[in-house]
Amino acid sequence: MAGRTTSRHAGDTKSRILDAAETLFIDCGYEAMSLRQITSRAEVNLAAVNYHFGSKESLIHSMLSRRLDRLNEERVKLLERFDHMLGERLTCEHVLGAMFIPALRLSRDPRVGGKAFLRLLGRAYTDPSAFIRDFLNAHYASVAVRFFDAFQRALPHLPREELGWRLHFAIGALSGVLAGADTESLIAEFSQGKSMNDLQLIARLASLMVAALKAPLPDASQLAMFAAVLGDATDSDTAADTSAGSDGAAPNREHKAAAAAHEAPDEAGGSGLSPCPADAFLAPAASGTRASSATAGFDGEPRGGALEARAVLPHALHGAT
């Protein structure tokens, strides 16, 4: 009997530590939280943390895994179900549904975090710590690959580089909303006091992301338009030269517009723009000869499957969208 009591007490202590770490991570982020804060909130001593986890890093690994492992298992199961049902008819909406639906279901379950679950996901996706990013990239790379490939099949007209950019922007925006403490109050305000079920919420999320993912590639006229806008913004910094009689402002805009038109997407579907820098999404890639445009992704490295997924979806699949 005494053994059972001791075991139950140890389990309660471990759960309290994990709960405290989760709350502080949501509120403060990885870098700002300390073991002292965790032990104080969990009402345990530092020895208890060392006994159960060994270090802050190991504790955070355990804290994330206990939520995200199940989430990603459910996501993969649902994606496989859609794949089996639809095959080549798999749609962008189904892939997004496989991302969103399990997250919403788990957020309704108080045993796995309840209402705080979505905020945990948002914080995990947006936390700037290299430690969090590296953990997510390494621990859930296979899931990221599955979803990136599914998006590629559902959106075959998009070059992989372009798909990477769009997923990064769309999921990043969604993650920022999830991480906010006022998300629920905003939903209540926007819905004007009316209840919003999962179908309505998923439809709103998916409609925005689908529109972003399916938007046509920018053509020469659009690039020229934004080049002119940037030129006008630059001209404001050189107003002194212009007022002195320089007539170089308009030609400067025309030159930028022409350059933008030259960089417009080609008939083969390429973006025509420089690849995204590798350090925009992940640690600098190994140096070496760049692959051809047919086999290289947005970081200019040869495609092996996991690289683009680690770069694009670490904040979406390791715990989105």
Residue 59 covered by a domain: no
How is 145-195 classified by DSSP, letter by letter? HHHHHHHHHH-TTS-HHHHHHHHHHHHHHHHHHHH-TTHHHHHHHHTTT--
Do both 130 and 170 map to the same domain? yes
What CATH number has the domain bearing residue 19? Answer: 1.10.10.60
Q: Report the alpha-carbon distance of residue 180 to residue 188 in Å, rounded.
A: 14
Residue 318 covered by a domain: yes
Q: Where are the alpha helices (DSSP H) in the chain?
A: 2-28, 35-42, 46-52, 56-86, 92-107, 116-126, 130-139, 141-154, 160-179, 183-190, 198-214, 220-235, 239-243, 249-262, 306-312, 314-317
Do both 152 and 208 map to the same domain? yes
Do both 82 and 177 map to the same domain? yes
- Look at residue 241 in the predicted model and tell me its pLDDT: 54
Enclosing domain of residue 281: 220-301
Do both 179 and 189 map to the same domain? yes
Residue 61 covered by a domain: no
- Look at residue 11 in the predicted model and tell me its pLDDT: 62
Residue 4 covered by a domain: no
Do both 208 and 297 map to the same domain? no
pTM: 0.68
Nearest to 205 by CA among 213, 215, 193, 194: 213
Do both 224 and 137 map to the same domain? no
Residue 200 covered by a domain: yes
Residue 170 covered by a domain: yes
Residue 190 covered by a domain: yes
Do both 39 and 156 map to the same domain? no
Q: Report the alpha-carbon distance of residue 190 to residue 205 in Å, rounded.
A: 14
- Look at residue 122 in the predicted model and tell me its pLDDT: 87
What is the count of structural domains for the chain? Answer: 3
Do both 125 and 250 map to the same domain? no
Do both 274 and 311 map to the same domain? no
Do both 85 and 210 map to the same domain? yes
- Look at residue 258 in the predicted model and tell me its pLDDT: 54
- Look at residue 5 in the predicted model and tell me its pLDDT: 42
- Look at residue 184 in the predicted model and tell me its pLDDT: 60
Do both 31 and 77 map to the same domain? no
> CB-based burial of residue 179 (10 Å sphere; 0-12 exposed, 13-18 middle, 19+ buried)?
buried
| Residues contacting residue 29 through CB under 8 Å, at least 6 positions apart | 123, 127, 128, 129
Please name every residue paired with 148 in a beta bridge, in sequence order, or none if there are none: none
Residue 248 covered by a domain: yes
Which regions in the chain score pLDDT beneath 70? 1-11, 180-199, 236-321
| Residues contacting residue 234 through CB under 8 Å, at least 6 positions apart | 252
Do both 308 and 159 map to the same domain? yes
Q: Report the alpha-carbon distance of residue 106 to residue 64 in Å, rounded.
A: 14
Q: Side chain identity at 151, as an amino acid letter?
A: F
